[in-house]
Structure 1
């Protein structure tokens, strides 16, 4: 499947932003310049046919460097659990040609087809593959010339301290332009939560990059690591620069413990991302909002050596979160859709991401009655525009 032509759009006519009245959206320089009531057809404009318009979806947690999308089916193998999946991946990734520009490009195409216009992706860094994954992701993303906005987290999938040299490689990645550095289960993977977190926070402060830590550890073990992250964020002045991915523990501790953790996170602007896994309780949306904790959705890996599941549709992840959380009221359904779109702006370094003048022209059209209908039905994306250029047209 070839890359899109990236044809520029200067006027998108007869669309309904967030389900509102029919409008025309003017675009220049990759930005929305005006939104006006729908007028008569203009030669050269794109006719939106009265479809619902939403801001582009923002995928806040992906692994675009290691999918077998587009390759022959791979049967699930190896042991379960985090360590089992790490071992299985290390044993087979070279055989399957990971990382590669081609497989990464296939994932980005699926993201674009489903309406994602910006993504924060974790990219493996370790002593076997070095920075090959980052190089592959950058080359695949470059084909879109910025129409898909890709931010990179240098991710130590096999641990930070237990593999000598990984910290140096993370520092090299930060110097080479990675937007964030990652960590992974400091207690259960490195078995030295203080050591891993001290090292990651020092590195991030030295190179002035963000931090995005995978934290799968459950209940009080996970909550203890939340405490450590909170302490280091405060001590090193990293407010607004730290994200915790997965964070299952928050939904597994008692209400009082969760309240205190969320209050500290809100104070320090520590964010959360989730892939809405079905096997654990979902992170509580209303409690997060009440504490002022920003929250985003991600697809995680899709069709990789960890799991055969995943389609690349972030709207499907939002649907999964809403359904698993028993969210049914209109205002809550809209809030979930906001988390997948305009509320996720900060996860890709934006102050605004919406259908408003001055915002980047990232627009998705769907055949839906209103935003609630779009979420619960997840209809196909009819048109996807990224930075004012066509990424997908049905």
Structure 2
């Protein structure tokens, strides 16, 4: 095994240590300056703060026009308007493209992201081509970032005959999850959409990740349906709700009622913490054992011109949205973007500890809280035991 020693780093801002890696795993974390074994390759960490690789649990890397001339935002407001605008304009912009998708994944690597769950459009216009594009882009970067694919029916499932078959084909071809979107307001038939998605998931042994934009009681009704269907299918811990804006809009009593149902089903949560959304009851979710992960959502696409691929900035947005100020809370937010998110990428452990995948990010920061509020450049990134970024230059 090729052994690499990352010397003189401060894991989570603690005492100086060396992180010893063999192939793609961390095998030991020892005090800095400990005797090295023969044949080890050493990389000087310069006393920097060390974090586990950032894990982006909700992205849309196939949609981006990154690296192309600026595209003005357009389309009618709301989910339906943006879907229609994207469908009308994407072909003329060459979306999806390997070049733009590779560029976005490269920005993830630059900012220290070593794993991403990305939703990839599957519809009657693009078929499964978006999944092929994403896989080609990941390969172009030497798989420096782990990419898990959600086959995503952005334009609806039941209202577009043939999409369910495409989702079935995507699951058979290796997508880790099948997606859904607003079963009530997009398909206007939540039971049929959920039955179709769960049937595919059960037959192919994949997970489910459902976009839910609907607010208030309409959203809460669908959350309860998703939880009930999850329990019936025996898929505890394998279903994620993305966005789920309704949860933050409910009264405290109703919120607690819905949370209990979601926690019983082991529903996970993915959020990009958008600025005008209602804060989530994230502490209550964590207390009930519900996984919460952070994602960049779309980056410079036909939905929004915003985004730079830095998940640490999303974590900062989460902290601001929830009015967090104390050191323990700020530390917890960074853990949401790193060690707490391992399960979304199928990792039993994701931390700076023996047995975990060798994903390490170094930053010039005093401590974790300083890193969060300043979001400094990532000085060095190791992914799967390989040096993939140094001083802002992507090396793969």
TM over 0.5: yes
Question: Is 2:328 aligned against 1:331?
Answer: yes
Q: Determine the C-alpha separation between the residues in 2 that align with 1:191 and 1:267.
A: 26
Q: Determine the C-alpha separation between the residues in 2 that align with 1:289 and 1:30.
A: 30
User: Which stretch shows the higher mean deviation, 8-17 or 55-64?
Assistant: 8-17
**Residue in 1 aligned with 2:259?**
262
Q: Determine the C-alpha separation between the residues in 2 that align with 1:273 and 1:144.
A: 25
CA deviation vs aligned residue, 1:112-155 (integer Å, no higher than 9, x gap) = 10110000000000000000000000111123333211100000
Q: Determine the C-alpha separation between the residues in 2 that align with 1:57 and 1:27.
A: 18
**Residue in 2 aligned with 1:16?**
10
TM-fit CA distance, 1:269: 1.1
Q: Determine the C-alpha separation between the residues in 2 that align with 1:197 and 1:139.
A: 30
**Residue in 2 aligned with 1:32?**
26
User: 1:151-162, aligned counterparts within 5 Å?
Assistant: 151-162=148-159
SS in 1 for 2:303: coil
Question: Is 2:360 aligned against 1:363?
Answer: yes
Residue 78 to residue 41, structure 1, CA distance change in 2 (3 Å): farther
- The correspondence for 1:137, drawn from 134, 137, 141, is 134
Q: Determine the C-alpha separation between the residues in 2 that align with 1:159 and 1:61.
A: 18
Check whether the contact 1:9–1:389 (CA below 8 A) recurs between aligned residues. no
SS in 2 for 1:187: coil
Question: Is 2:195 aligned against 1:198?
Answer: yes
**Residue in 1 aligned with 2:394?**
none
TM-fit CA distance, 1:41: 9.2
User: 1:177-192, aligned counterparts within 5 Å?
Assistant: 177-192=174-189
Question: Is 2:224 aligned against 1:233?
Answer: no
CA deviation vs aligned residue, 1:272-329 (integer Å, no higher than 9, x gap) = 0000011111212211111211100000000000000111100000000101111011
Instruction: Note the residue ranges of structure 1 that are not aligned, 5 or more in a row.
Output: 1-7
Question: Is 2:91 aligned against 1:94?
Answer: yes
SS in 2 for 1:263: helix
SS in 2 for 1:45: strand
> What's the TM-score once normalised by structure 1's chain length?
0.96
Deviation >3 Å, runs of 4+: 40-44
CA RMSD of aligned residues (A): 1.2
**Residue in 1 aligned with 2:162?**
165
User: 1:1-394, aligned counterparts within 5 Å?
Assistant: 10-39=4-33, 44-394=41-391
Q: Determine the C-alpha separation between the residues in 1 that align with 2:174 and 2:107.
A: 25
SS in 2 for 1:13: strand
SS in 2 for 1:54: strand
Q: Determine the C-alpha separation between the residues in 2 that align with 1:146 and 1:288.
A: 33
TM-fit CA distance, 1:44: 4.2
SS in 2 for 1:326: coil
SS in 2 for 1:10: strand
Check whether the contact 1:56–1:363 (CA below 8 A) recurs between aligned residues. yes
SS in 1 for 2:81: helix
Q: Determine the C-alpha separation between the residues in 2 that align with 1:181 and 1:81.
A: 23
Q: Determine the C-alpha separation between the residues in 1 that align with 2:65 and 2:102.
A: 11
Check whether the contact 1:58–1:117 (CA below 8 A) recurs between aligned residues. yes
Check whether the contact 1:274–1:297 (CA below 8 A) recurs between aligned residues. yes
TM-fit CA distance, 1:257: 1.4
Check whether the contact 1:13–1:41 (CA below 8 A) recurs between aligned residues. no
- The number of residues matched between the two structures is 387
Q: Determine the C-alpha separation between the residues in 1 that align with 2:347 and 2:41.
A: 30
SS in 2 for 1:65: helix
SS in 1 for 2:61: coil
SS in 2 for 1:385: strand
Check whether the contact 1:9–1:390 (CA below 8 A) recurs between aligned residues. no
Check whether the contact 2:219–2:244 (CA below 8 A) recurs between aligned residues. yes
